[in-house]
Amino acid sequence: MNTPQHSHFAEDVLKGLTTKEKHVSSKYFYDDNGSRIFMQIMQMPEYYPTACEFEILSQQSGNIFDTINFTTKFNIVEFGSGDGIKTRQLLKAFMDKKAQFTYIPIDISQEANDALQQNMKTALPNLDIQPRTGDYFEVLNELSAGTLPNLFLFLGGNIGNYKKDEAIDLLERFNADMKKGDMLLMGMDLKKNPRIIQLAYDDPHGITRSFNMNLLQRMSRELEADILSDQFDFYSNYNPKNGEVNSYLVSLKKQSFYSKVLDTTFHLEKDELIWTELSRKYSFEEINALAEATGFTVKNNFLDCRHYYTDSLWV
Ligand code: AVJ
């Protein structure tokens, strides 16, 4: 998965680890090793969002197509397309309905795009696919100048990684670049029994722990830093009051490490936290409010059978 912003790992780590509340953005989880660990996360039974979205897109894409009701040729534009296994369910259902569309996956990684294109060619040989590598908004700008209607996909619950203001900002920018009639299908994880959420982000296999610990390994390698990972712990907590899962690396002792690349020594107190990720969970009221605040209307929510997750269709 890749986020719209270009990565400035070194500068961001320097900034994030020299402020009062230390943090490193979750977008840096996804180096090659991190992406591999994330695939393992998606396969664990505890991490329900993937299975939920797969179910929705497998069983309700016909329904989604009828609700969208585009009668001409159109584009399906996906932000952060990843491996495309879930999206494939939607594309297949749309093709079965004889929909005429071009699939435009956007990813910052050329490698991800090449792999996706190969997979799609095998699974759906008749698919018209035109991958774009680069910044979301460059492509968005170009497409809004065209005449074809667009269905934008922002799947996987990635919106939950953004702080409230950042989410509003991002969605406002999407909105500004969308023409009348364009639609946005966005995956959002719903509030539910707190234990279910807690287990998804603090799994007994330790896979989410490795996912976070990998950030330390990435820093060691790319910033040439002498970090000892066993002097850190992982802690993740869901707060049902505000719907936030917050994840952290915890310094197990007072320690410091030196990065050659940054020529900086970083200091950590015993029990000091490095905040790594926010994963927000929504109620339907909050989804409506977020849509309203950013110039959208919620047309429909497509839910899995357990009502854990929604693919929310916005106009
Ligand atoms: C890919 C951002 C949606 O926040 O649920 C999974 C990433 N982090 N387990 C999420 C993640 C820990 C995931 N997103």
The interface pTM score, or ipTM, of the predicted complex is 0.99
Q: Which ligand 1 atom minimizes the distance to the CA of 1?
A: 1
Q: Do residues 185 and 311 lie in contact, with contact meaning Cβ atoms separated by under 8 Å?
A: yes
Ligand 1 center to 279 CA (angstroms): 7
Ligand 1 center to 186 CA (angstroms): 15
* pTM summary value: 0.94
Helix (H, G, I), strand (E, B) or coil at 84: coil
* Amino acid occupying residue 185: L
- Residue by residue, pLDDT tens for the chain (315 residues) are 444 444 699 999 999 999 999 999 999 999 989 989 999 999 999 999 999 999 999 999 999 999 999 999 999 999 987 778 899 999 999 999 999 999 999 987 788 888 899 999 999 999 999 999 888 888 888 888 889 999 999 999 999 999 999 999 999 999 999 999 999 999 999 999 999 999 999 999 999 999 999 999 999 999 999 999 999 999 999 999 999 999 999 999 999 999 999 999 999 999 999 999 999 999 999 999 999 999 999 999 999 999 999 999 999
- Tell me which residue has its CA closest to atom 10 in ligand 1: 279
Q: Do residues 178 and 152 lie in contact, with contact meaning Cβ atoms separated by under 8 Å?
A: yes
Ligand 1 center to 46 CA (angstroms): 12
Is 1 near ligand 1, meaning CB less than 6 Å away? yes
Q: Do residues 168 and 293 lie in contact, with contact meaning Cβ atoms separated by under 8 Å?
A: yes
Q: Shortest CA distance to 141 belongs to which of 191, 187, 101, 106?
A: 106
